[in-house]
Each structure stands twice: as structure tokens, then as C-alpha cells.
A = this chain, B = another copy of it.
């Protein structure tokens, strides 16, 4: 059922793309998995950790998961205090698949970060305390596109100047699809650096309603990510139930890794969703032999964003 629904949606998106005023010189009708050399029936999966750089607890867990191959990719919160640790680790792991987790929000109340542009440099991006706002709706309401573009370029440039060979873009708290204006900047950044960006056909990371997308812009059919309300004992089962029925295509499993330690509990004490215990559950899940075996049994092909980049249309950056 699910895969049929996606086929229909994909056809609609392709149609809307054809109608949109997007430059398109290439009309490769093959699926992404085929363009990457896999069969049309293959199921490609990026296992991706968000929020790298947020703090040491997140970094420790995510570095280990990348080193052990439990995940294939991660994206970095550049304005966060522990970004320099990521830059140092990245130099020691030049093949690591790292993107930028473009950030316009700072969601915890005791540990916060501001824009690289500074409060005075980007007044529409900060709250009354000088930090990036707690939630995305505030950004969608207040952020001036020019300040967003300048701030996000600063985030990308800081990562690049730190020597990180970035492979993709995605977004903190779905910020870049929260309004047509924000999405326009997201698209522009992707083109400017000629890197793929997380964008799913429908769901949390889909383009804003009514905004046409062109087919080559969508690298991932669906992003699967834990939502509030799942009991700890059902964690692994929930992920299996999401992944097992997927049809052929490219998917991203988004996880949030950290230790349930003092530092992480301190940051998330009043927000159990995506909090310390949650992230420890995700960490336990990706490292568990049972989950590794499940992926193998299901025949998922684990891929990186640097692979998906190869499937970008040749005119993507134009």
C-alpha cells in the first residue's frame, strides 16, 4: 500500500516539476537506485544522525556510531559550542559522510546558541535573549530571507574553512521547509554548493504546500524518524515496523544519538522528547546486533549522501 501511494505521489511531483519554472536539461527517467547502479527493486537506506556538534555527549555517541559503521552519515549543527570537536574528528576521518544541519533554532532552554552572524548582525533571527528561537514557527514568522541566507552561508563556510568535506544539507527542526521563503533559501544554498539536500516527497521534510519541486531535487522518498509516544520497550519494534514494508527506493533513517548522561540530561531535563533517554534508546538501537541483522535480512543497501550526490541532475547547480 505504502509503496503504491509513493508511486502515485512521485508521479504527481514529477508532473508538478515539469510544470514548474525549474531549469531542466536532463530528463533521466531512471530511479535513483538505478542511476547509482543498483536494480530498480533495491531499497537504499541512509542511516543518519542529526545534531552533531550540539554537545560532547552527542559527539561521543555519533563519532562511535560513524566509526563502527552503525550509521552511514551525520549532519552538523555549526553554531553549537562543540563544533570544533567535530572539525578535529573530521580531519582524522576524511571519509566520513558529513553534512550541514542548517540551523535557525535553538530548542533547549538551558543550553542555547545564537546565529554566527551575532544578534546585531541578524536581528530577525534571534529572540529577546539573543539566541536562535526555541521553535521553527517563530523563525517562519520573523526571519528575513536575506539574513537567513547570509547566516546559512556563514554556517556552511565555517564548516568548509575548518576543512570538512561536506556532502549534503539538511535542516534542524525542519526549519527550511517551514515557509516558501525559507525553502527558497534552502534550494539556493543547495544549488550554490552543488550538494544534495534532504527533501522527501511528503512528510516533515517535504517542500511547503503549493511549492513545486523538480524531480532531481528529491533524493529521498521518505525520511523515517522516531516520533513522541513510543515506549522504550517498543523502540526497536517501531523502527522495524516502519522499515519492513517500504518499497523500492531511497530512504533516510534519521536517528538522534547521545548518552543518557549528566550533560545530556542537563540540556534536555524539561523536554523528554528527543531528550537524553530518547537518544540513548536510538544509540542502543543502531548498535544492537538485532537491528543490524534485521537490515541485512531485509536486504537494505546502506548508502551515504556522497553516493546520492552522484545521482543529482547535471543541471542541479545551474
Contacts and interface: CB of A to CB of B under 8 A. Distances in A.
Interface of A: 55-57, 59-60, 80-85, 88, 109-122, 128-131, 154, 158, 161-162, 259, 261-263, 266-267
Contact of A81 (B111, B162, B261): B111
Contacts of A158: 129-130
Contact of A110 (B82, B119, B120, B267): B82
Contact of A262 (B56, B81, B114, B161): B56
Contacts of A82: 110-111, 266
Q: What's the number of copies of this chain in the assembled complex? A: 2
Secondary structure at chain A's binding surface: helix, strand, loop or mixed?
loop
B129 A110 contact: no
A109 B85 CA distance: 7
A56 B88 contact: no
B84 A129 contact: yes
A60 B263 CA distance: 10
Contacts of A84: 109-112, 129, 131
Contact of A266 (B85, B113, B115, B129): B85
